A and B are shown apart, each in its own frame.
Chain A
């Protein structure tokens, strides 16, 4: 399923809404999640999962082609942990 199919399903269920409003609704949900993580916040959606930011320490890496040592700075990466309900549903426990 891609973004446009998700929008279409929600539009089909809500014939009273304009298509462009459904697009904005779906866009807002994803934008809020990214904006929260950009600030370093967590987003916890019970039953679905939680988005958080993890810190990766700086390290000395190596250029795999030349073998040359390079300093890799500390950085922050997005992380998702599946919620219990969804994990159970994926395994047929409803």
Chain B
């Protein structure tokens, strides 16, 4: 494992290399991919990307929680959480790429 962290910059650099748009426009397009995905999720839609995975929004109901430090009970409000389910292809590639 190389343990590097990639950022938006690395993704836009890849788009720049692959597609040959300017660096600036490549960065804007990466941003717009993320923005359209986020907007769909905020509208409550799932985002299903073939051979990558599915992002879906789940509704969590209210429950009583506890402050682990003080032991005090605190209400946890109902909220929406995002879950990501990787595709089989992604799981297989990640598993085989990281085998010792």
Contact = CB atoms under 8 A, between A and B. Distances in A.
Given A41-B2, A76-B95, A77-B94, A32 B10 contact: yes
30 contacts: A2-B49, A2-B50, A3-B52, A9-B36, A10-B32, A10-B33, A14-B29, A24-B18, A25-B33, A28-B19, A29-B14, A30-B51, A32-B10, A32-B11, A34-B93, A38-B94, A38-B98, A39-B4, A40-B1, A40-B2, A41-B2, A44-B5, A45-B7, A47-B34, A47-B38, A49-B82, A49-B84, A76-B98, A78-B94, A90-B79
Given A3-B50, A21-B19, A39 B97 contact: yes
Contacts, number: 160
Q: Looking at chain B, what size class is its interface with the partner chain?
A: 35 or more
A69 to B, nearest CB: 22
A82 B19 contact: no
Given A44-B7, A89-B42, A3 B15 contact: no
Contacts of A3: 48-50, 52
A24 to B, nearest CB: 5
B11 A29 contact: yes
